[in-house]
Amino acid sequence: MSTTRTTICLFCGAPAQVVSVTPLVQLDCPSCGSYGLTTGVISHLRTNAHAKAAVYAEIRRQLGAGVERPHINVEILQALKGR
């Protein structure tokens, strides 16, 4: 089951539509684009500014490469820490 509501984009603070699809939260931000995050990544990004910046850069990179809606999970977050 999915629900649609408005929230604040984790990256730019703009209002964004969120479509919750457990365990992936999909956001459509007019500024940052469309992306998906797992719930574990969201909690980590709220407390770690460095990880937040790295994930944002990765989302922008994937969108620039033509990925329609990048999905960021814990494995991608761990790979970004290694950079």
pLDDT band at 21 (very low <50, low <70, confident <90, very high): low
- Does residue 2 surpass a pLDDT of 60? no
Number of domains in the chain: 1
- 3-class SS letters over the chain: CCEEEEEECCCCCCEEEEEEECCEEEEEECCCEEEEEEHHHHHHHHHCHHHHHHHHHHHHHHHHCCCCCCEECHHHHHHHHCC
pLDDT in tens, 23-77: 888 999 999 999 999 988 998 999 999 999 999 999 999 999 999 999 999 999 9
Structural domain boundaries, residue 45: 3-81
Does 2 or 60 have the greater pLDDT score?
Answer: 60
